Structure 1
Amino acid sequence: MDAVVGLLVMLLGVSHGVETHCDGRQDGAQCFGALGGTVFLQLMNNVSEIHRYRLLKETTVILDGRKNTILNDLIADRYFFTPNNGIFRINQLSRFDDGEYRLETYNSRGRLSERSLQLTIQAPVSSVRLVPECLSQGEMKVSCSSEGADSPQYSWTLDGKALTDSELLSGNTETNNITLKQHVSGQLVCSVRNNISSDLEERNISTCGVETHCDGRQDGAQCFGALGGTVFLQLMNNVSEIHRYQLLKEKTIILDGRKNTILNDLIADRYFFTPNNGTFRINQLSRFDDGEYRLETYNSLGRPSVRILQLSIQAPVSSVRLVPECLSQGEMKVSCSSEGADSPQYSWTLDGKALTDSELLSGNTETNNITLKQHVSGQLVCSVRNNISSDLEERNISTCGVETHCDGRQDRAQCYGALGGTVFLQLMNNVSEIHRYRLLKEKTIILDGRKNTILNDLIADRYFFTPNNGIFRINQLSRFDDGEYRLETYNSRGRLSERILQLTIQAPVSSVRLVPECLSQGEMKVSCSSEGADSPQYSWTLDGKALTDSELLSGNTETNNITLRQHVSGQLVCSVRNNISSDLEERNISNCVGADFSVLICGVRAAVVILALIGITVFFAWK
């Protein structure tokens, strides 16, 4: 035979992404799948009574079966058919899977019935981004986007209700760009969806028209106005006794009056003067309003007096964003920003107090980027302000290590903490009625208090006690924290009560790794591991169900190594847990053996492999 026979066997396929389900039992069904994901097509209820069936993608037969028997080779890591429920699964969806599918079924007399379904592949919605922008007249333009999503559909709400015409200047609740009228504020949500997924972004928006007030009755006054907002300049107490007055911006007269009478035309929608209180208002502030203003007043003899004020226009603080990031050694880098704000000034607090050197690794409380030491946790607030407005963002940060909680109010409580993490020990309900209390680690007193007063020095970056809830926190847990703790409480008569708790420190579960390996007879050995975890416990599922003896050749669902029988395939999950954390790894596995041939070697060197393919013997040799 002159032809060269080539053979490609893909042993394993991994499918990550969105799963979709579609009922294709009606003719003309419209189905959707996520690019890179998995679609489950319900083709029939059960095939046991169907004499013959075929599924074609355009003109290609991708499934051919008779009752419970599959007659053709399915692409092992992509197609999977379950005869007992009639579901056809396609993994790792690509644009090439988009199109029309035709199901042909034949009864025992060979009579054909046909149904078609249309499968449309879409990129899913992800990373929704909502960006507000103040316009010159105080309106707010807001755009909403989702990277790469196909056929996105948008909807907007404000404070949980659909936007109305009284709030919208342009756009509508089904577009991705809207413009809000002046002075609209609240919790704005943009929801994005397509046929396969959805996501949203929410932001608390304030009006663009910030109002500021300034006393310009002293010469050299420094005033500030918000870009797009309004400033009220107090120029005089009352003009009824002032013979003549003029306000000039550089050389332009913007206000000219005599007592209660305005002599010049004020720009109607921008300038407004109130004679009875001497206040000059400027609306819709722009950068052009920035500069020096001169007030000239004249008495009845024409004698002038001059005062100067400086008006600075600043973009207000808005949309403060606080972004934490865990670093390699367990420190936390936190950045704080406010879109477009002029001359922002920053300040930070943790649990209501200014950050200290014991908590800060780098940066200070006046910078927009700080790095917190390992195991610092609590309510972190970044406040941003300039001369015209302020805003803040707060976030409850946990240490970059694992947090655990334990109720130690019962004697002999068994508690667990994560190596490098934080443990919260509930020692008492409230200490206000407890005359005296002490917590000892072996023979060392680590907490000594009377009612709400702590009498001893706690290790600042490791121990923290909250009297009003009786919780004792230990940060940066190490193996030395493992052991027995004794709580001693004393009533007003000095009577002692004791409780013991045992704290066990474990390395958490992380980086679960699932490794499949094909064996010589087509079985699959699968190992599961988690780097460094203490006392790991394992469990396995296949397609959401516990593994059975019909699938397992050796091992069981509580060991970290199993061997699967030939022809077992599906979504395999190994879950690893211990007393402080858990994680899992999943992989879509295909069987190691093809439908019409056997692979006699998987991943090892061999001298000769002999494959029987359509009755022809082919020799492949490796050196």
Structure 2
Amino acid sequence: MQITSSIILAAQRKKTRAYHPGASEEFTGNKLQKRHILNVKMISIYVITVALAVTAVGQRSSECNLTEPGPQTCFGVLGEPLVFYLPTKPHMKTSFKKSTENILTLINDTLIRLNEKYKNRTIFFPNGTLKLEKATKHDSGEYNMETHSSTDGVLLHTVNIHLHILAPVSEPAVMQMCLSPKQMTVSCFSEGEEVELILSLDDKLLIQPTANGTENNSVSNVTINLPGQQMGNLTCVAQNNASRKQTITHLTSCTAPVSEPAVLQMCLSPQQMTVSCSSEGDEVEFTLFLDDNLLIKTQPSIAENRNISNVSISLHGQLLGKLMCIVQNNISREQTIIHLISCAGNISDHCIVTVAVVVSAVAILLILAVFLGIWKFKNTAGIMTVNEDEAEEDVVYSDIRLKQLARETRETPPISNQDES
């Protein structure tokens, strides 16, 4: 406000001196009006410039406040602006030094002397603010400020500060590694000086190690063990006395997701069939339904590595309906639906029905084997007959061995030669 008042007063003085006796009143009035408008514009530009400069000081700048008494420690960020706040009062002389080297001298709020080393890298504002454009390691050290009365030279007060310029921390990198479904490790890395790493999970502190007190740039890291099923928002904060950055990542469970289940129906006789359901993943849980009626529900199978799990049940051979197999673990869920086929006929002409919902190499081989068996059966006898002497012989279809019982084959009457003709 004092600066603005002084400029307005100077403008008014210039306006008074602009009048000359003998000049026409119209010409003199227009000239004064133009000069008045020009002066107002200059005042506005100056005030805006000062406001922008003061605003720029506060942007991404470290600060050392020498207007407060007592010894202080200040921290600056390497390569970024650094601001010193110096006291300015009427009838006061201020000297600011680094060690024994004088940086500047102020009287009231006017800069009287500025060291040559700082002229090309500093900006001074009339409110007593000295801004370094880019802090360097050379700026670290001991500083002293003294204020004296500008009238009689009496020492008013002195302030000592220790300035420490630090390399800023980098944005932390977070890495999750699954060791097993039951265990994971989480690591956080950051580069900088005197880095302190803080880990928290869903705002709950996990670890806060002491700061790494290295003087040179180095990579700091911290690693912790967590349960393999742990999930949530993990926050890693990297900070030192000059800067602070953080990274948030979402932890995922170490459980492998389940695959779409493959369902197989296998007829053993007209009175018996088996139904199997298999899926790949970790800690797989199976649930089987027939027309929405629960048949079986298993507990999760826990294994250290991802594997193929399966479940098989026996059903009556004449059962029909919609069979649903649901597989799930704590991170995924899949299901498959098939329609059961009746196991009609007797053991002599019985065929094995194989249903493969998820096509795989094993399923294809089974289907090929069934068709090859049927083709061979038709080309040899038309209708297969089991004699009493062959009651203990094994019949193989698709790698499934069915041992025929003698008492069942005896019930089938032999075919005479006359009938064959």
- TM-score under structure 2 normalisation? 0.46
Greater helix content: 2
| TM-score, structure 1 as length reference | 0.32
Which has the larger Rg?
Answer: 2
